[in-house]
Structure 1
Protein backbone atom coordinates (compact mmCIF):
# COMPACT_ATOMS: atom_id res chain seq x y z
CA UNK A 1 0.00 0.00 0.00
CA UNK A 2 2.81 2.43 0.78
CA UNK A 3 4.42 1.82 -2.63
CA UNK A 4 1.08 2.56 -4.37
CA UNK A 5 0.67 5.84 -2.50
CA UNK A 6 4.14 6.95 -3.53
CA UNK A 7 3.40 6.23 -7.19
CA UNK A 8 0.29 8.48 -7.31
CA UNK A 9 2.07 11.87 -7.13
CA UNK A 10 4.74 10.60 -9.53
CA UNK A 11 2.09 9.66 -12.08
CA UNK A 12 0.30 13.00 -11.64
CA UNK A 13 3.55 14.89 -12.21
CA UNK A 14 4.29 12.90 -15.34
CA UNK A 15 0.80 13.57 -16.70
CA UNK A 16 1.17 17.30 -16.09
CA UNK A 17 4.52 17.37 -17.90
CA UNK A 18 3.00 15.46 -20.81
CA UNK A 19 0.11 17.97 -21.08
CA UNK A 20 2.57 20.90 -21.14
CA UNK A 21 4.62 19.21 -23.86
CA UNK A 22 1.50 18.53 -25.95
CA UNK A 23 0.35 22.14 -25.49
CA UNK A 24 3.73 23.53 -26.60
CA UNK A 25 3.83 21.22 -29.59
CA UNK A 26 0.31 22.18 -30.63
CA UNK A 27 1.17 25.87 -30.43
CA UNK A 28 4.36 25.39 -32.42
CA UNK A 29 2.50 23.51 -35.18
CA UNK A 30 -0.61 25.71 -35.22
CA UNK A 31 -0.20 28.56 -37.75
CA UNK A 32 -3.30 30.30 -36.40
CA UNK A 33 -1.88 30.40 -32.90
CA UNK A 34 1.44 31.75 -34.18
CA UNK A 35 -0.21 34.36 -36.40
CA UNK A 36 -2.41 35.79 -33.64
CA UNK A 37 -0.61 38.86 -32.26
CA UNK A 38 -0.75 39.98 -28.68
CA UNK A 39 -3.46 42.58 -28.03
CA UNK A 40 -2.19 46.04 -28.90
CA UNK A 41 -2.12 48.68 -26.22
CA UNK A 42 -4.86 51.31 -26.38
CA UNK A 43 -4.26 54.46 -28.38
CA UNK A 44 -4.24 57.35 -25.94
CA UNK A 45 -7.17 59.66 -26.65
CA UNK A 46 -6.35 62.15 -23.93
CA UNK A 47 -3.71 64.79 -24.60
CA UNK A 48 -2.66 68.31 -23.72
CA UNK A 49 -5.24 69.78 -26.10
CA UNK A 50 -8.09 68.64 -23.88
CA UNK A 51 -9.17 65.54 -25.80
CA UNK A 52 -10.66 63.32 -23.13
CA UNK A 53 -9.83 59.61 -23.04
CA UNK A 54 -12.90 58.65 -20.99
CA UNK A 55 -15.17 60.70 -23.25
CA UNK A 56 -13.89 58.79 -26.27
CA UNK A 57 -15.36 55.59 -24.80
CA UNK A 58 -18.74 57.06 -23.78
CA UNK A 59 -21.44 56.05 -26.25
CA UNK A 60 -23.70 58.92 -25.12
CA UNK A 61 -21.23 61.47 -26.51
CA UNK A 62 -20.79 62.48 -30.13
CA UNK A 63 -17.92 63.89 -32.17
CA UNK A 64 -18.04 67.69 -32.01
CA UNK A 65 -14.94 68.40 -34.04
CA UNK A 66 -11.66 67.02 -35.34
CA UNK A 67 -8.31 68.71 -34.77
CA UNK A 68 -5.82 67.66 -37.44
CA UNK A 69 -2.16 68.38 -38.19
CA UNK A 70 -0.20 67.65 -41.34
CA UNK A 71 2.56 65.06 -41.36
CA UNK A 72 4.46 66.48 -44.33
CA UNK A 73 3.88 70.23 -44.02
CA UNK A 74 2.73 72.31 -41.06
CA UNK A 75 -0.96 72.68 -41.88
CA UNK A 76 -3.67 72.55 -39.24
CA UNK A 77 -7.34 71.82 -39.81
CA UNK A 78 -10.11 72.32 -37.28
CA UNK A 79 -13.19 70.57 -38.63
CA UNK A 80 -16.57 70.89 -36.94
CA UNK A 81 -19.44 68.43 -37.00
CA UNK A 82 -21.46 71.10 -38.83
CA UNK A 83 -19.05 70.92 -41.78
CA UNK A 84 -17.32 74.22 -41.09
CA UNK A 85 -13.55 74.15 -41.21
CA UNK A 86 -10.57 76.39 -40.58
CA UNK A 87 -7.36 75.52 -42.40
CA UNK A 88 -4.16 77.20 -41.21
CA UNK A 89 -1.09 77.14 -43.44
CA UNK A 90 2.08 79.17 -43.72
CA UNK A 91 0.42 81.17 -46.50
CA UNK A 92 -2.56 82.10 -44.31
CA UNK A 93 -5.90 80.90 -42.95
CA UNK A 94 -8.82 79.65 -45.03
CA UNK A 95 -12.38 79.57 -43.67
CA UNK A 96 -14.46 76.81 -45.23
CA UNK A 97 -18.07 75.66 -45.21
CA UNK A 98 -19.25 72.25 -46.34
CA UNK A 99 -20.58 68.93 -45.12
CA UNK A 100 -19.14 66.21 -42.90
CA UNK A 101 -20.61 62.75 -43.45
CA UNK A 102 -20.01 59.49 -41.64
CA UNK A 103 -18.84 56.71 -43.94
CA UNK A 104 -18.88 53.42 -42.09
CA UNK A 105 -16.43 53.90 -39.24
CA UNK A 106 -14.81 56.99 -40.79
CA UNK A 107 -15.83 60.45 -41.98
CA UNK A 108 -15.75 62.21 -45.35
CA UNK A 109 -15.66 65.99 -45.68
CA UNK A 110 -16.06 68.26 -48.68
CA UNK A 111 -16.08 72.04 -48.45
CA UNK A 112 -15.39 75.30 -50.25
CA UNK A 113 -13.72 78.51 -49.05
CA UNK A 114 -16.18 81.20 -48.00
CA UNK A 115 -14.50 83.66 -50.37
CA UNK A 116 -14.13 81.18 -53.26
CA UNK A 117 -17.21 78.92 -53.42
CA UNK A 118 -16.10 77.44 -56.75
CA UNK A 119 -13.07 75.73 -55.22
CA UNK A 120 -13.23 72.38 -53.44
CA UNK A 121 -11.34 70.92 -50.50
CA UNK A 122 -11.87 67.32 -49.37
CA UNK A 123 -10.72 65.08 -46.54
CA UNK A 124 -11.16 61.45 -45.58
CA UNK A 125 -10.76 60.64 -41.89
CA UNK A 126 -10.13 56.99 -41.05
CA UNK A 127 -10.00 55.51 -37.52
CA UNK A 128 -6.41 54.28 -37.78
CA UNK A 129 -3.69 55.09 -35.27
CA UNK A 130 -1.54 57.94 -36.57
CA UNK A 131 1.82 59.01 -35.17
CA UNK A 132 2.48 62.76 -35.44
CA UNK A 133 5.94 63.73 -36.72
CA UNK A 134 6.69 65.76 -33.58
CA UNK A 135 6.27 62.63 -31.43
CA UNK A 136 3.94 62.06 -28.50
CA UNK A 137 0.88 59.86 -28.24
CA UNK A 138 -0.67 58.32 -31.31
CA UNK A 139 -3.78 60.08 -32.58
CA UNK A 140 -6.87 57.93 -33.21
CA UNK A 141 -7.56 59.15 -36.78
CA UNK A 142 -5.56 59.35 -39.99
CA UNK A 143 -6.59 62.08 -42.45
CA UNK A 144 -6.04 62.41 -46.20
CA UNK A 145 -6.54 66.06 -47.20
CA UNK A 146 -6.76 67.34 -50.78
CA UNK A 147 -6.54 70.91 -52.09
CA UNK A 148 -8.28 72.45 -55.13
CA UNK A 149 -4.99 72.36 -57.08
CA UNK A 150 -4.78 68.56 -56.70
CA UNK A 151 -2.22 68.48 -53.89
CA UNK A 152 -2.76 65.68 -51.34
CA UNK A 153 -1.21 65.19 -47.92
CA UNK A 154 -1.73 62.99 -44.89
CA UNK A 155 -2.25 64.11 -41.32
CA UNK A 156 -3.14 62.95 -37.81
CA UNK A 157 -6.38 63.89 -36.05
CA UNK A 158 -7.85 63.88 -32.58
CA UNK A 159 -11.60 63.78 -32.01
CA UNK A 160 -13.23 66.06 -29.45
CA UNK A 161 -16.38 64.45 -28.09
CA UNK A 162 -19.23 65.80 -26.00
CA UNK A 163 -22.99 66.15 -25.73
CA UNK A 164 -24.61 66.73 -29.11
CA UNK A 165 -25.10 70.50 -28.91
CA UNK A 166 -25.85 70.73 -32.64
CA UNK A 167 -29.09 68.78 -32.17
CA UNK A 168 -29.95 69.91 -28.65
CA UNK A 169 -33.67 70.39 -27.92
CA UNK A 170 -34.89 73.94 -27.47
CA UNK A 171 -34.96 75.33 -23.96
CA UNK A 172 -38.29 76.15 -22.34
CA UNK A 173 -38.58 78.15 -19.13
CA UNK A 174 -39.03 75.97 -16.04
CA UNK A 175 -42.28 76.11 -14.10
CA UNK A 176 -40.29 76.75 -10.93
CA UNK A 177 -39.75 80.51 -10.93
CA UNK A 178 -37.04 80.08 -8.28
CA UNK A 179 -34.81 78.50 -10.94
CA UNK A 180 -32.64 81.33 -12.25
CA UNK A 181 -32.81 79.98 -15.80
CA UNK A 182 -36.41 81.25 -15.93
CA UNK A 183 -34.85 84.64 -16.75
CA UNK A 184 -33.36 83.40 -20.02
CA UNK A 185 -36.45 83.66 -22.28
CA UNK A 186 -37.37 87.05 -20.80
CA UNK A 187 -33.95 88.74 -20.75
CA UNK A 188 -31.84 86.77 -23.21
CA UNK A 189 -30.48 89.89 -24.96
CA UNK A 190 -29.29 91.40 -21.67
CA UNK A 191 -27.73 88.15 -20.49
CA UNK A 192 -25.88 87.82 -23.78
CA UNK A 193 -24.80 91.48 -23.57
CA UNK A 194 -23.14 90.84 -20.21
CA UNK A 195 -21.53 87.60 -21.38
CA UNK A 196 -19.99 89.19 -24.48
CA UNK A 197 -19.35 92.81 -23.52
CA UNK A 198 -18.48 92.88 -19.81
CA UNK A 199 -14.74 92.99 -20.50
CA UNK A 200 -14.22 89.57 -18.91
CA UNK A 201 -13.11 86.34 -20.59
CA UNK A 202 -16.50 84.77 -19.88
CA UNK A 203 -16.90 81.03 -20.04
CA UNK A 204 -20.42 80.80 -18.60
CA UNK A 205 -23.30 82.63 -16.96
CA UNK A 206 -23.88 80.84 -13.65
CA UNK A 207 -26.78 82.83 -12.18
CA UNK A 208 -29.25 85.65 -12.95
CA UNK A 209 -31.35 87.60 -10.46
CA UNK A 210 -33.19 90.87 -10.06
CA UNK A 211 -31.30 93.48 -8.06
CA UNK A 212 -32.12 96.88 -6.60
CA UNK A 213 -34.32 99.25 -8.61
CA UNK A 214 -35.15 96.57 -11.16
CA UNK A 215 -31.57 96.03 -12.30
CA UNK A 216 -30.70 92.65 -13.74
CA UNK A 217 -27.66 91.08 -12.07
CA UNK A 218 -25.89 88.52 -14.26
CA UNK A 219 -23.21 86.45 -12.55
CA UNK A 220 -20.34 85.45 -14.82
CA UNK A 221 -17.55 82.88 -14.53
CA UNK A 222 -14.29 83.49 -16.36
CA UNK A 223 -11.72 81.06 -17.75
CA UNK A 224 -9.79 81.01 -14.44
CA UNK A 225 -12.83 80.35 -12.26
CA UNK A 226 -13.19 83.97 -11.13
CA UNK A 227 -16.74 85.32 -10.81
CA UNK A 228 -18.18 88.74 -11.56
CA UNK A 229 -21.56 90.44 -11.24
CA UNK A 230 -22.69 92.39 -14.30
CA UNK A 231 -25.36 95.03 -13.55
CA UNK A 232 -27.71 96.04 -16.35
CA UNK A 233 -29.61 99.32 -16.48
CA UNK A 234 -33.34 98.44 -16.39
CA UNK A 235 -34.28 101.13 -18.90
CA UNK A 236 -31.80 100.87 -21.78
CA UNK A 237 -30.15 97.56 -20.94
CA UNK A 238 -26.68 99.13 -20.79
CA UNK A 239 -23.99 97.66 -18.56
CA UNK A 240 -23.69 99.89 -15.49
CA UNK A 241 -20.94 98.06 -13.63
CA UNK A 242 -18.95 94.83 -13.47
CA UNK A 243 -17.66 93.88 -10.02
CA UNK A 244 -15.61 90.93 -8.77
CA UNK A 245 -17.37 88.50 -6.43
CA UNK A 246 -15.84 87.19 -3.20
CA UNK A 247 -15.21 83.45 -2.99
CA UNK A 248 -17.63 83.07 -0.08
CA UNK A 249 -20.47 84.82 -1.94
CA UNK A 250 -22.33 81.87 -3.45
CA UNK A 251 -25.97 82.26 -4.43
CA UNK A 252 -28.61 79.58 -4.08
CA UNK A 253 -28.67 77.46 -7.22
CA UNK A 254 -25.52 79.08 -8.60
CA UNK A 255 -23.69 76.84 -11.06
CA UNK A 256 -26.26 74.05 -11.13
CA UNK A 257 -27.05 75.28 -14.61
CA UNK A 258 -24.79 77.36 -16.85
CA UNK A 259 -25.59 79.44 -19.90
CA UNK A 260 -22.93 79.33 -22.61
CA UNK A 261 -22.93 81.93 -25.39
CA UNK A 262 -22.87 80.51 -28.91
CA UNK A 263 -19.37 80.58 -30.37
CA UNK A 264 -19.29 80.23 -34.17
CA UNK A 265 -15.73 78.89 -34.03
CA UNK A 266 -16.08 76.23 -31.36
CA UNK A 267 -18.97 74.26 -29.90
CA UNK A 268 -18.65 73.57 -26.16
CA UNK A 269 -17.39 70.10 -25.25
CA UNK A 270 -19.73 69.11 -22.43
CA UNK A 271 -19.07 65.69 -20.91
CA UNK A 272 -22.08 65.24 -18.64
CA UNK A 273 -25.57 66.48 -17.78
CA UNK A 274 -28.07 67.78 -20.35
CA UNK A 275 -27.90 70.61 -22.87
CA UNK A 276 -30.61 72.80 -24.41
CA UNK A 277 -30.48 75.35 -27.22
CA UNK A 278 -31.55 78.91 -26.39
CA UNK A 279 -32.91 80.97 -29.28
CA UNK A 280 -34.05 84.54 -29.77
CA UNK A 281 -37.45 85.63 -31.08
CA UNK A 282 -36.34 85.00 -34.67
CA UNK A 283 -35.30 81.44 -33.89
CA UNK A 284 -31.57 82.20 -34.10
CA UNK A 285 -29.29 80.24 -31.80
CA UNK A 286 -27.82 82.50 -29.10
CA UNK A 287 -26.32 79.89 -26.78
CA UNK A 288 -26.88 76.76 -24.73
CA UNK A 289 -28.17 76.05 -21.25
CA UNK A 290 -26.17 73.27 -19.62
CA UNK A 291 -27.98 71.44 -16.83
CA UNK A 292 -25.17 69.93 -14.77
CA UNK A 293 -27.13 66.95 -13.45
CA UNK A 294 -24.73 64.20 -12.48
CA UNK A 295 -21.61 66.24 -13.23
Structure 2
Protein backbone atom coordinates (compact mmCIF):
# COMPACT_ATOMS: atom_id res chain seq x y z
CA UNK A 1 0.00 0.00 0.00
CA UNK A 2 1.41 3.36 -1.04
CA UNK A 3 1.86 6.36 1.23
CA UNK A 4 -0.41 9.40 0.72
CA UNK A 5 0.65 11.85 -1.97
CA UNK A 6 0.18 15.57 -1.35
CA UNK A 7 0.17 18.18 -4.11
CA UNK A 8 -0.04 21.83 -3.02
CA UNK A 9 -1.88 23.85 -5.67
CA UNK A 10 -0.19 27.25 -5.67
CA UNK A 11 -2.30 28.77 -8.45
CA UNK A 12 -5.71 27.22 -7.84
CA UNK A 13 -8.00 29.93 -9.22
CA UNK A 14 -8.33 31.80 -12.47
CA UNK A 15 -6.07 34.85 -12.75
CA UNK A 16 -7.74 38.14 -13.63
CA UNK A 17 -6.66 39.54 -17.03
CA UNK A 18 -3.69 41.82 -16.49
CA UNK A 19 -3.14 40.65 -12.92
CA UNK A 20 0.22 39.41 -11.71
CA UNK A 21 0.15 35.60 -11.93
CA UNK A 22 2.34 35.12 -8.85
CA UNK A 23 3.40 31.49 -8.96
CA UNK A 24 1.68 30.94 -12.31
CA UNK A 25 4.84 29.38 -13.74
CA UNK A 26 4.64 26.76 -11.01
CA UNK A 27 0.92 26.19 -10.40
CA UNK A 28 1.43 23.17 -8.12
CA UNK A 29 4.17 21.23 -6.41
CA UNK A 30 4.71 17.96 -4.60
CA UNK A 31 4.86 18.33 -0.80
CA UNK A 32 5.74 16.09 2.12
CA UNK A 33 2.49 14.89 3.69
CA UNK A 34 4.33 14.20 6.96
CA UNK A 35 5.30 17.87 7.44
CA UNK A 36 3.05 20.77 8.55
CA UNK A 37 1.54 22.46 5.49
CA UNK A 38 -1.60 24.26 6.68
CA UNK A 39 -1.81 27.39 8.84
CA UNK A 40 -3.94 27.22 11.97
CA UNK A 41 -5.29 30.61 10.83
CA UNK A 42 -6.71 29.14 7.61
CA UNK A 43 -10.47 29.66 7.36
CA UNK A 44 -10.83 26.10 6.15
CA UNK A 45 -9.70 25.04 9.62
CA UNK A 46 -11.23 27.74 11.81
CA UNK A 47 -14.63 27.93 10.08
CA UNK A 48 -14.86 25.04 7.63
CA UNK A 49 -14.92 27.72 4.93
CA UNK A 50 -14.08 25.86 1.77
CA UNK A 51 -15.16 23.21 -0.72
CA UNK A 52 -13.90 19.78 -1.73
CA UNK A 53 -14.41 16.79 -3.97
CA UNK A 54 -13.53 13.13 -3.39
CA UNK A 55 -12.77 11.16 -6.55
CA UNK A 56 -12.32 7.41 -6.94
CA UNK A 57 -9.52 6.32 -9.26
CA UNK A 58 -9.54 2.66 -10.25
CA UNK A 59 -7.10 0.74 -12.43
CA UNK A 60 -8.83 2.13 -15.54
CA UNK A 61 -8.88 5.71 -14.27
CA UNK A 62 -11.66 8.01 -13.12
CA UNK A 63 -14.62 8.33 -15.50
CA UNK A 64 -16.33 10.84 -13.16
CA UNK A 65 -13.50 13.38 -12.93
CA UNK A 66 -15.09 16.00 -15.16
CA UNK A 67 -18.39 15.73 -13.30
CA UNK A 68 -16.53 16.26 -10.02
CA UNK A 69 -14.74 19.29 -11.45
CA UNK A 70 -18.00 20.82 -12.63
CA UNK A 71 -19.50 20.37 -9.18
CA UNK A 72 -16.31 21.81 -7.66
CA UNK A 73 -16.86 24.99 -9.66
CA UNK A 74 -20.53 25.18 -8.61
CA UNK A 75 -19.63 24.73 -4.94
CA UNK A 76 -16.97 27.45 -5.14
CA UNK A 77 -19.45 29.80 -6.78
CA UNK A 78 -22.07 29.18 -4.10
CA UNK A 79 -19.49 30.14 -1.45
CA UNK A 80 -18.39 33.22 -3.43
CA UNK A 81 -14.91 31.74 -3.80
CA UNK A 82 -12.82 32.60 -6.88
CA UNK A 83 -13.41 30.33 -9.87
CA UNK A 84 -11.06 27.32 -9.81
CA UNK A 85 -8.66 27.10 -12.74
CA UNK A 86 -9.76 23.69 -13.95
CA UNK A 87 -6.76 23.07 -16.20
CA UNK A 88 -4.46 23.53 -13.20
CA UNK A 89 -6.62 21.19 -11.11
CA UNK A 90 -6.63 18.55 -13.87
CA UNK A 91 -2.85 18.68 -14.05
CA UNK A 92 -2.46 18.57 -10.27
CA UNK A 93 -4.88 15.62 -10.09
CA UNK A 94 -2.94 13.77 -12.78
CA UNK A 95 0.36 14.48 -11.02
CA UNK A 96 -0.99 13.14 -7.72
CA UNK A 97 -2.34 9.98 -9.34
CA UNK A 98 0.87 9.43 -11.30
CA UNK A 99 3.00 9.71 -8.16
CA UNK A 100 0.65 7.43 -6.22
CA UNK A 101 0.82 4.88 -9.03
CA UNK A 102 4.62 5.10 -9.02
CA UNK A 103 4.64 4.31 -5.32
CA UNK A 104 1.85 1.75 -5.12
CA UNK A 105 1.27 0.22 -8.54
CA UNK A 106 -1.35 0.57 -11.26
CA UNK A 107 -3.90 -1.78 -9.67
CA UNK A 108 -4.32 0.17 -6.44
CA UNK A 109 -7.70 1.91 -5.98
CA UNK A 110 -7.19 5.50 -4.90
CA UNK A 111 -9.30 8.11 -3.20
CA UNK A 112 -8.25 11.57 -4.39
CA UNK A 113 -9.45 14.66 -2.55
CA UNK A 114 -9.44 18.15 -4.06
CA UNK A 115 -9.69 20.95 -1.48
CA UNK A 116 -10.06 24.71 -1.87
CA UNK A 117 -10.39 27.00 1.17
CA UNK A 118 -10.76 30.77 1.53
CA UNK A 119 -7.23 30.84 2.96
CA UNK A 120 -5.85 32.79 5.90
CA UNK A 121 -8.33 35.39 7.12
CA UNK A 122 -7.66 38.85 5.70
CA UNK A 123 -5.21 37.79 2.99
CA UNK A 124 -7.67 37.02 0.21
CA UNK A 125 -5.47 34.19 -1.08
CA UNK A 126 -7.09 30.74 -1.30
CA UNK A 127 -5.41 27.61 0.02
CA UNK A 128 -5.61 24.50 -2.13
CA UNK A 129 -4.30 20.97 -2.35
CA UNK A 130 -4.83 17.53 -3.85
CA UNK A 131 -4.38 14.46 -1.65
CA UNK A 132 -4.20 10.98 -3.17
CA UNK A 133 -4.15 7.90 -0.97
CA UNK A 134 -5.25 4.26 -1.09
CA UNK A 135 -9.03 4.00 -0.80
CA UNK A 136 -10.45 1.96 2.09
CA UNK A 137 -11.60 -1.55 1.18
CA UNK A 138 -15.41 -1.34 1.03
CA UNK A 139 -15.87 -4.82 -0.45
CA UNK A 140 -17.67 -6.24 2.60
CA UNK A 141 -20.17 -3.41 3.01
CA UNK A 142 -20.92 -3.36 -0.73
CA UNK A 143 -21.65 -7.09 -0.53
CA UNK A 144 -23.39 -7.36 2.85
CA UNK A 145 -25.06 -3.97 3.12
CA UNK A 146 -25.82 -2.08 6.30
CA UNK A 147 -28.66 -0.76 8.42
CA UNK A 148 -29.74 2.88 8.38
CA UNK A 149 -32.14 5.22 10.16
CA UNK A 150 -34.04 8.25 8.87
CA UNK A 151 -33.32 11.62 10.48
CA UNK A 152 -35.03 14.97 9.95
CA UNK A 153 -32.55 17.35 8.30
CA UNK A 154 -34.42 20.32 9.77
CA UNK A 155 -35.56 22.14 6.65
CA UNK A 156 -38.25 21.85 3.96
CA UNK A 157 -37.48 20.25 0.62
CA UNK A 158 -37.66 23.69 -1.05
CA UNK A 159 -35.38 25.46 1.44
CA UNK A 160 -32.52 25.67 -1.03
CA UNK A 161 -34.50 27.83 -3.41
CA UNK A 162 -36.05 29.95 -0.67
CA UNK A 163 -32.82 30.37 1.33
CA UNK A 164 -29.77 30.01 -0.96
CA UNK A 165 -27.46 31.21 1.82
CA UNK A 166 -27.92 27.80 3.45
CA UNK A 167 -25.59 26.45 0.72
CA UNK A 168 -27.53 23.21 0.50
CA UNK A 169 -26.16 22.34 -2.95
CA UNK A 170 -22.52 23.01 -2.10
CA UNK A 171 -20.03 20.31 -1.10
CA UNK A 172 -18.39 22.24 1.72
CA UNK A 173 -15.82 21.39 4.38
CA UNK A 174 -18.48 21.94 7.08
CA UNK A 175 -19.36 18.30 7.72
CA UNK A 176 -20.15 18.34 11.44
CA UNK A 177 -23.88 17.82 10.90
CA UNK A 178 -23.08 14.73 8.82
CA UNK A 179 -20.71 13.46 11.51
CA UNK A 180 -23.26 14.12 14.27
CA UNK A 181 -25.95 12.27 12.32
CA UNK A 182 -23.66 9.27 11.84
CA UNK A 183 -22.95 9.20 15.58
CA UNK A 184 -26.70 9.28 16.25
CA UNK A 185 -27.13 6.31 13.92
CA UNK A 186 -24.51 4.39 15.88
CA UNK A 187 -26.34 5.17 19.14
CA UNK A 188 -29.45 3.60 17.58
CA UNK A 189 -27.64 0.48 16.39
CA UNK A 190 -27.25 1.50 12.74
CA UNK A 191 -24.34 2.61 10.58
CA UNK A 192 -25.93 5.04 8.15
CA UNK A 193 -28.50 7.81 7.88
CA UNK A 194 -31.06 8.80 5.26
CA UNK A 195 -31.88 12.47 5.75
CA UNK A 196 -35.48 13.53 5.19
CA UNK A 197 -36.96 17.01 4.89
CA UNK A 198 -39.16 18.48 7.60
CA UNK A 199 -42.11 18.26 5.20
CA UNK A 200 -41.58 14.57 4.51
CA UNK A 201 -39.39 14.00 1.44
CA UNK A 202 -36.30 11.81 1.01
CA UNK A 203 -33.08 13.85 0.69
CA UNK A 204 -29.65 12.17 0.83
CA UNK A 205 -27.26 10.37 3.16
CA UNK A 206 -24.44 12.24 4.95
CA UNK A 207 -21.91 11.30 2.25
CA UNK A 208 -24.02 9.53 -0.38
CA UNK A 209 -26.95 9.84 -2.75
CA UNK A 210 -30.02 7.65 -2.27
CA UNK A 211 -31.22 5.34 -5.05
CA UNK A 212 -34.49 3.38 -4.69
CA UNK A 213 -36.07 0.59 -6.75
CA UNK A 214 -39.84 0.21 -6.93
CA UNK A 215 -40.52 -2.77 -9.17
CA UNK A 216 -39.15 -1.95 -12.62
CA UNK A 217 -38.66 1.72 -11.75
CA UNK A 218 -35.49 3.21 -10.18
CA UNK A 219 -35.53 6.73 -8.79
CA UNK A 220 -33.36 9.20 -6.88
CA UNK A 221 -34.19 12.63 -5.40
CA UNK A 222 -33.28 15.63 -7.59
CA UNK A 223 -30.84 18.33 -6.51
CA UNK A 224 -33.80 20.74 -6.35
CA UNK A 225 -34.86 19.27 -3.00
CA UNK A 226 -31.82 20.85 -1.36
CA UNK A 227 -29.18 18.17 -1.77
CA UNK A 228 -25.76 17.94 -3.38
CA UNK A 229 -26.00 16.94 -7.05
CA UNK A 230 -24.53 13.45 -7.07
CA UNK A 231 -21.90 12.45 -9.59
CA UNK A 232 -22.07 8.67 -9.07
CA UNK A 233 -25.88 8.61 -9.04
CA UNK A 234 -25.93 9.66 -12.70
CA UNK A 235 -23.91 6.60 -13.67
CA UNK A 236 -26.02 4.40 -11.37
CA UNK A 237 -29.24 5.47 -13.08
CA UNK A 238 -27.61 4.90 -16.47
CA UNK A 239 -26.79 1.33 -15.37
CA UNK A 240 -30.44 0.63 -14.55
CA UNK A 241 -31.68 2.28 -17.74
CA UNK A 242 -29.40 0.02 -19.81
CA UNK A 243 -31.06 -2.98 -18.14
CA UNK A 244 -34.57 -1.94 -19.03
CA UNK A 245 -35.57 -0.14 -15.85
CA UNK A 246 -37.46 3.13 -16.04
CA UNK A 247 -35.36 5.76 -14.27
CA UNK A 248 -36.09 9.23 -12.96
CA UNK A 249 -35.04 11.92 -10.53
CA UNK A 250 -38.12 12.93 -8.55
CA UNK A 251 -39.35 13.90 -5.13
CA UNK A 252 -39.96 10.78 -3.04
CA UNK A 253 -42.23 10.98 0.04
CA UNK A 254 -40.76 9.29 3.09
CA UNK A 255 -43.86 7.10 3.27
CA UNK A 256 -42.77 5.44 -0.01
CA UNK A 257 -39.21 4.80 1.15
CA UNK A 258 -40.22 1.94 3.45
CA UNK A 259 -42.04 0.25 0.53
CA UNK A 260 -39.02 0.23 -1.78
CA UNK A 261 -37.94 -3.12 -3.19
CA UNK A 262 -34.29 -2.09 -2.71
CA UNK A 263 -32.35 0.95 -1.53
CA UNK A 264 -28.73 1.82 -2.23
CA UNK A 265 -26.47 4.61 -0.99
CA UNK A 266 -24.11 5.56 -3.82
CA UNK A 267 -20.94 7.63 -3.70
CA UNK A 268 -17.71 7.97 -5.62
CA UNK A 269 -15.26 6.09 -3.41
CA UNK A 270 -17.55 3.65 -1.58
CA UNK A 271 -19.74 3.08 -4.69
CA UNK A 272 -23.11 1.34 -4.16
CA UNK A 273 -23.97 0.09 -0.68
CA UNK A 274 -27.32 -1.70 -0.25
CA UNK A 275 -29.46 -1.03 2.81
CA UNK A 276 -30.55 -4.13 4.72
CA UNK A 277 -32.78 -2.31 7.21
CA UNK A 278 -34.30 1.13 7.68
CA UNK A 279 -35.53 2.32 11.07
CA UNK A 280 -35.47 -1.30 12.22
CA UNK A 281 -37.55 -2.65 9.32
CA UNK A 282 -35.79 -5.21 7.07
CA UNK A 283 -35.14 -4.31 3.42
CA UNK A 284 -34.49 -6.76 0.61
CA UNK A 285 -30.88 -7.03 -0.53
CA UNK A 286 -30.55 -7.98 -4.19
CA UNK A 287 -27.02 -9.36 -4.16
CA UNK A 288 -26.83 -10.10 -7.89
CA UNK A 289 -28.09 -6.68 -8.99
CA UNK A 290 -25.87 -4.92 -6.43
CA UNK A 291 -22.78 -6.77 -7.62
CA UNK A 292 -23.53 -5.84 -11.24
CA UNK A 293 -24.11 -2.21 -10.25
CA UNK A 294 -20.78 -2.03 -8.45
CA UNK A 295 -19.01 -3.68 -11.36
CA UNK A 296 -20.45 -0.95 -13.58
CA UNK A 297 -19.44 1.84 -11.20
CA UNK A 298 -15.94 0.40 -10.84
CA UNK A 299 -15.12 0.58 -14.54
| Larger RCO: 1 or 2 (CA < 8 Å, sep 6+) | 2
TM class, shorter-length:
under 0.3
TM-score of the pair, normalised by structure 2: 0.26
Is the strand fraction higher in 1 or 2? 1
